[in-house]
Amino acid sequence: MRFTYDVSVRWSDMDAYGHVNNARFLTLYEEARVAMFFVGAKAHGLGTFEEGIVIARHEIDYLRPVDFGDPVRIEMWVSELRAAAFTVSYELFDDGVLASRAKSVCVPYNLVQGHPRRLSEAERAFLKPYTEVS
Protein backbone atom coordinates (compact mmCIF):
# COMPACT_ATOMS: atom_id res chain seq x y z
CA MET A 1 0.00 0.00 0.00
CA ARG A 2 1.17 3.55 -0.71
CA PHE A 3 0.41 6.79 1.09
CA THR A 4 -0.58 9.41 -1.48
CA TYR A 5 -0.47 13.15 -0.90
CA ASP A 6 -1.01 16.12 -3.23
CA VAL A 7 1.38 19.04 -2.66
CA SER A 8 0.92 22.52 -4.09
CA VAL A 9 3.84 23.97 -6.00
CA ARG A 10 4.50 27.52 -4.81
CA TRP A 11 5.85 30.36 -6.91
CA SER A 12 8.77 30.54 -4.46
CA ASP A 13 9.70 26.95 -5.40
CA MET A 14 10.73 28.10 -8.87
CA ASP A 15 14.29 28.72 -10.04
CA ALA A 16 15.66 31.12 -12.66
CA TYR A 17 14.80 28.61 -15.40
CA GLY A 18 11.11 28.50 -14.52
CA HIS A 19 11.21 25.01 -12.99
CA VAL A 20 10.95 23.78 -9.42
CA ASN A 21 14.41 24.23 -7.90
CA ASN A 22 16.17 20.95 -7.17
CA ALA A 23 16.51 21.76 -3.45
CA ARG A 24 12.77 22.49 -3.19
CA PHE A 25 11.99 18.87 -4.05
CA LEU A 26 13.11 18.11 -0.49
CA THR A 27 10.46 20.51 0.79
CA LEU A 28 7.75 18.86 -1.31
CA TYR A 29 8.81 15.42 -0.06
CA GLU A 30 8.92 16.75 3.50
CA GLU A 31 5.33 18.00 3.29
CA ALA A 32 4.17 14.56 2.18
CA ARG A 33 6.24 12.83 4.89
CA VAL A 34 4.85 15.12 7.61
CA ALA A 35 1.32 14.38 6.39
CA MET A 36 1.98 10.66 6.67
CA PHE A 37 3.75 10.61 10.04
CA PHE A 38 1.89 13.36 11.85
CA VAL A 39 -1.58 13.60 10.30
CA GLY A 40 -1.96 10.04 8.98
CA ALA A 41 -0.47 8.38 12.05
CA LYS A 42 -2.50 10.59 14.38
CA ALA A 43 -5.69 9.55 12.53
CA HIS A 44 -4.74 5.98 13.48
CA GLY A 45 -4.33 6.99 17.14
CA LEU A 46 -0.53 7.19 16.98
CA GLY A 47 1.15 10.41 18.12
CA THR A 48 4.67 9.23 18.96
CA PHE A 49 6.21 10.19 15.61
CA GLU A 50 5.55 13.80 16.60
CA GLU A 51 7.97 13.32 19.49
CA GLY A 52 10.88 13.05 17.07
CA ILE A 53 12.08 11.71 13.76
CA VAL A 54 15.37 12.86 12.25
CA ILE A 55 16.57 12.33 8.71
CA ALA A 56 19.87 10.46 8.37
CA ARG A 57 20.02 10.53 4.57
CA HIS A 58 18.21 11.84 1.47
CA GLU A 59 18.66 10.54 -2.06
CA ILE A 60 16.89 12.12 -5.06
CA ASP A 61 16.73 11.26 -8.75
CA TYR A 62 15.44 14.06 -10.98
CA LEU A 63 13.77 12.57 -14.05
CA ARG A 64 12.18 15.65 -15.64
CA PRO A 65 11.56 19.33 -14.83
CA VAL A 66 8.46 20.31 -12.85
CA ASP A 67 6.78 23.60 -13.75
CA PHE A 68 4.54 25.88 -11.71
CA GLY A 69 0.90 24.86 -11.90
CA ASP A 70 -1.30 22.16 -10.50
CA PRO A 71 -0.30 20.30 -7.34
CA VAL A 72 2.06 17.37 -7.72
CA ARG A 73 1.15 13.91 -6.43
CA ILE A 74 3.60 12.18 -4.14
CA GLU A 75 3.28 8.47 -3.47
CA MET A 76 5.22 7.09 -0.49
CA TRP A 77 5.96 3.68 0.93
CA VAL A 78 8.39 2.10 3.39
CA SER A 79 11.11 0.31 1.44
CA GLU A 80 13.12 -0.80 4.49
CA LEU A 81 11.98 -1.31 8.07
CA ARG A 82 14.60 -1.88 10.76
CA ALA A 83 14.56 -1.80 14.56
CA ALA A 84 15.76 1.80 14.89
CA ALA A 85 15.41 3.23 11.36
CA PHE A 86 13.24 2.99 8.28
CA THR A 87 13.53 4.14 4.70
CA VAL A 88 10.73 6.03 3.01
CA SER A 89 10.67 5.85 -0.79
CA TYR A 90 8.82 8.41 -2.87
CA GLU A 91 7.65 8.97 -6.41
CA LEU A 92 6.60 12.46 -7.48
CA PHE A 93 4.16 12.78 -10.38
CA ASP A 94 3.53 15.99 -12.32
CA ASP A 95 0.41 15.82 -14.52
CA GLY A 96 0.45 12.05 -14.04
CA VAL A 97 4.03 11.69 -15.30
CA LEU A 98 6.81 10.44 -13.04
CA ALA A 99 9.16 13.40 -12.46
CA SER A 100 11.31 12.31 -9.53
CA ARG A 101 12.15 9.41 -7.24
CA ALA A 102 13.63 9.78 -3.77
CA LYS A 103 14.44 8.01 -0.52
CA SER A 104 14.83 9.25 3.04
CA VAL A 105 16.35 7.25 5.88
CA CYS A 106 14.33 8.19 8.97
CA VAL A 107 15.48 7.61 12.54
CA PRO A 108 13.06 7.75 15.47
CA TYR A 109 14.58 10.18 17.93
CA ASN A 110 14.02 11.14 21.54
CA LEU A 111 14.25 14.93 21.27
CA VAL A 112 14.04 15.44 25.05
CA GLN A 113 16.96 13.14 25.88
CA GLY A 114 18.82 13.79 22.63
CA HIS A 115 19.36 10.29 21.25
CA PRO A 116 17.99 7.84 18.67
CA ARG A 117 15.45 5.29 19.83
CA ARG A 118 13.90 2.07 18.56
CA LEU A 119 10.55 1.98 16.82
CA SER A 120 7.70 1.03 19.13
CA GLU A 121 5.42 -1.89 18.27
CA ALA A 122 2.60 0.60 17.54
CA GLU A 123 4.85 2.51 15.13
CA ARG A 124 5.91 -0.71 13.39
CA ALA A 125 2.25 -1.72 13.10
CA PHE A 126 1.45 1.65 11.46
CA LEU A 127 4.36 1.37 9.00
CA LYS A 128 3.90 -2.31 8.12
CA PRO A 129 0.98 -1.86 5.66
CA TYR A 130 3.08 0.68 3.74
CA THR A 131 5.99 -1.73 3.41
CA GLU A 132 6.54 -2.56 -0.22
CA VAL A 133 9.39 -4.06 -2.16
CA SER A 134 10.28 -1.90 -5.18
Q: Is the confidence at residue 134, as pLDDT, over 60?
A: no
| Cβ 88 vs Cβ 31: under 8 Å | no
| Cβ 92 vs Cβ 98: under 8 Å | yes
56-74 pLDDT, tens per residue? Answer: 999 999 999 898 878 999 9
- What pTM did the predictor assign? 0.90
From CA 42, how far away is CA 112, in angstroms rounded?
A: 20
Segment (H or E) for 5: strand 3-7
How much is the pLDDT for 47? Answer: 84
